[in-house]
Structure 1
């Protein structure tokens, strides 16, 4: 029943069923350089750092109270099925490379290779795009302006600082997601405490019950960022052979981190809605502006026109919070990179990319070459985007975030159905955790997860898809990011052209892996 184009790949654990795939070819040479330094608590912090995104909190809050309603709906319709799906795949096939290996076993090298390019390249797009611009905006809001060349210098420091963290050995590198998770918990917890203090002193904005009513237009606007903040469960599986017990730790960490992320993500959104008037919440600066407003309770004031000035302890706490936010943004990119880069290295070692990119550094046990290439790409994208948008932060943010999400989600459209295919191809593989409900349960979770990410890709490429159809209210043009108002063609090209380029890169990588594939026979 095995795909003849997919030579078997082998889980090192030894705990396999009689029909388990052998995953030794292509990766075996590099396996001995890995270090088993990831324990259960490390994986939990890794996932919290991955799931709790600080760059999209403002985007959700900008849509008003219905954002919380859609957040709850999608927690059941997407987050839960997606978590169940990844828990089975990650525990049944605990092999370095995670998502690449699953799609490779299910659909063959070519499909998996192209899919992996999209999954990997979304990270430099994200780091050089929305993460970088929010970090720079935060710095300018709380510290000092970055005129001219200083903005480029600061962005490159952010990108290469992250690259330096990613390239470190796991026993050192794992402290980055741990620090990121702690920074999130402290920052978001302190923000919520400050909101309570602010509410006692100044009151809060009323949130009428009617504003929580979900609408289709709101769904179209929110589904990309909400689902984007619900993904990342598969990342630890990319480092499965660096875990002490992946079969046990992956499912358990998914459950715990999923519950934590809903609390850590939903609380700040509610806090922003209480503090800022709806019309003043921006996608880029919503969370930043809310922090400044609530910290006036420690020192500072809000002028009649809404301008916030911090002083004394308020200024100190504002600076600390800004540093925490920047650390949170940086560690988001680093944590995703730690997973996506490892998967790309496995893919290259397996013959769907340049063999030299598949090498694991003997001293550090990490894919140093992929890490450095990713940092170079992020730097180039950062400089290019900043010039194309003429320094317009909102436009840069909207285009970069949209491209990051669509690129990642197209890869998920291929990865998620692997669950059904691998159940058929390897029915006797030991599955420490399996999606409840047998075949029907597997079909339900796969359909929900795959269908929602596929729909999200359509919505991102064509904002407003379906708005005004079948009696729904609204105008499709209003769904464009505000920074692209009246510029649908420009926005669509900012998404489609890079996606086409990424697929070409995938084909080039596949061609460059020909020698490796032939050597394996």
Structure 2
């Protein structure tokens, strides 16, 4: 075992096995299902439902199969970091983990917190914009999410479990109420809805749908805190993926059925749809709508905390292994068993982005910030461009590893699944980084300035610049930590011996 592996292994000795199959399933549901994404998907109109179903079958299913096999075969703490390290070496693993991790504090401070504040302001209690109440709410939201990742996983898992339950309950309540409303008043939203798939709809929806569906492997970052990962990971991943597919498809169809065409807009798609259909409850509609808004905000909070729990563990393992600045960042608290220093780093990054968004709220600065935020969030997709080939290499190079679950049809089935998933990720990543290019090839009209508020040249400068900055940060982190000394594929993983 190398020196860096000894450091990483030492950091995991304080971990306690507290995640059972139900907990892993709940964590996957809490992390992946997002109310705001439901509304955003519905903006695609009738074909949004079609593409949601198509991508569930041809992306989510093979994706789940790949990670079910790999997660059970390689259950070490750090999950994807360990997989990429074993396949491609520490430098590739460290840079990939940075792209995977940085998405989450930026998303927490640059998107989730603003959606939560807008919902609270519009449906629960007036906050105003830029007021003391507004700043207080947003700071509390960010740091409560971080603190739930700081507490021991034995306790913190119940927060994410509650978030998963609230999500499923709220989406089921909304869907059932929408059906009742439609039976009474008619499904007006279906008038003129076009469910036939189009190329333009496909290119517009692919990035958001892929972003909605990825992440079910995230609980593997806490692999050494699972009670029986080799048996529980495949079953939990399958269940959480099935729940997520239903929780996206059914509410999207419900929104499209009851909200008039052209009036579905992001967050308004869900909350305004709820305001409309809850009218069937008469005088109880107001309290129910307010309760739904509270559940909405709580679900967003637990989604942020779930991602902090898992992605911070990945980044901590990279730091402990000599892949990100100081090994001290990878230390797990001896009593809590959590990477507190990495948690606090995530909180600081989220707070900076939240404050930057507050200060750059108007004019061209807002458009620029929106572009940078969009690219930073899509770094999660970019990380899979390395993770998926790593899974294939592990399948081919390590056939001797015990695999409690195997993709149907063996290695050919694994390769087909990997090819499908990689193709989807490649298209989604390209569409996110270079929007409008594929549309132009197919002769589809795309007004870049109208969509993004900046010119294409400015957009590409900011997008590629953001990715370049992240890669430079990763390279600097490895150089400072001395991680470039191990350039070959590592033969051991944290907690594993030859």
Give TM-score scaled by structure 2 length.
Answer: 0.91
d(CA) in 2 for partners of 1:162 and 1:486?
A: 33
Q: 1:191 to 1:230 in 2, by over 3 A?
A: same
d(CA) in 2 for partners of 1:223 and 1:397?
A: 22
**Residue in structure 2 matched with residue 383 of structure 1 by the alignment:** 355
Q: 1:395 to 1:267 in 2, by over 3 A?
A: farther
Secondary structure of residue in 2 paired with 1:100: helix
State which drifts further: 441-450 or 119-128.
441-450
Secondary structure of residue in 2 paired with 1:55: helix
d(CA) in 2 for partners of 1:155 and 1:400?
A: 20
Give TM-score scaled by structure 1 length.
Answer: 0.88
- Which of 186, 189, 196 is residue 203 of structure 1 equivalent to? 186
Contact 1:126 1:400 in 2 (8 A): no
d(CA) in 1 for partners of 2:391 and 2:285?
A: 51
- Which of 342, 347, 357 is residue 318 of structure 2 equivalent to? 347
d(CA) in 2 for partners of 1:399 and 1:319?
A: 32
Contact 1:477 1:486 in 2 (8 A): no
Alignment of 1:290-369 (within 5 A): 290-299=273-282, 312-353=283-324, 354-369=326-341
- Which of 465, 476, 481 is residue 446 of structure 2 equivalent to? 476
The number of residue pairs the alignment matches comes to 485
**Residue in structure 2 matched with residue 83 of structure 1 by the alignment:** 64
Q: 1:425 to 1:446 in 2, by over 3 A?
A: same
RMSD (Å), alpha carbons: 2.5
Alignment of 1:47-86 (within 5 A): 47-86=28-67
**Residue in structure 1 matched with residue 494 of structure 2 by the alignment:** none
d(CA) in 1 for partners of 2:373 and 2:299?
A: 17
Q: 1:202 to 1:86 in 2, by over 3 A?
A: same
Secondary structure of residue in 1 paired with 2:7: coil
Alignment of 1:52-451 (within 5 A): 52-142=33-123, 143-150=125-132, 151-207=134-190, 211-299=194-282, 312-353=283-324, 354-390=326-362, 399=371, 402-451=374-423
Contact 1:81 1:446 in 2 (8 A): yes
- Which of 4, 10, 16 is residue 35 of structure 1 equivalent to? 16
Q: 1:274 Cα deviation (Å)?
A: 1.5
d(CA) in 2 for partners of 1:464 and 1:516?
A: 38
Q: 1:376 Cα deviation (Å)?
A: 0.5
- Which of 493, 496, 513 is residue 481 of structure 2 equivalent to? 513
Q: 1:42 to 1:395 in 2, by over 3 A?
A: farther
d(CA) in 2 for partners of 1:365 and 1:122?
A: 23
Contact 1:385 1:396 in 2 (8 A): no
Q: Deviations over 1:441-485 (max 9, x none)?
A: 22211111122112211101222232142xx4531226x784x25
Q: 1:391 to 1:383 in 2, by over 3 A?
A: farther
Secondary structure of residue in 2 paired with 1:279: coil
d(CA) in 1 for partners of 2:23 and 2:483?
A: 38
State which drifts further: 90-99 or 427-436.
427-436
Contact 1:220 1:465 in 2 (8 A): no
- Which of 492, 495, 498 is residue 466 of structure 2 equivalent to? 498
Q: Deviations over 1:470-516 (max 9, x none)?
A: xx4531226x784x256444544453332222111111210121189
Q: 1:106 to 1:177 in 2, by over 3 A?
A: same
Q: 1:250 to 1:392 in 2, by over 3 A?
A: farther
Q: 1:208 Cα deviation (Å)?
A: 5.5
Contact 2:44 2:201 in 1 (8 A): yes
d(CA) in 2 for partners of 1:209 and 1:277?
A: 9
Q: 1:113 to 1:481 in 2, by over 3 A?
A: farther
**Residue in structure 2 matched with residue 4 of structure 1 by the alignment:** none
Q: Deviations over 1:91-149 (max 9, x none)?
A: 11110000000000000011111111111111111101221111011112103142323
Q: 1:316 to 1:493 in 2, by over 3 A?
A: farther
d(CA) in 2 for partners of 1:375 and 1:166?
A: 10
Q: 1:431 to 1:50 in 2, by over 3 A?
A: same
Runs of at least 5 residues in structure 2 that lack an aligned partner in the other structure: 492-498
Which of the pair has the greater relative contact order for Cα pairs under 8 Å at 6+ separation? Answer: 2
Contact 2:367 2:453 in 1 (8 A): no
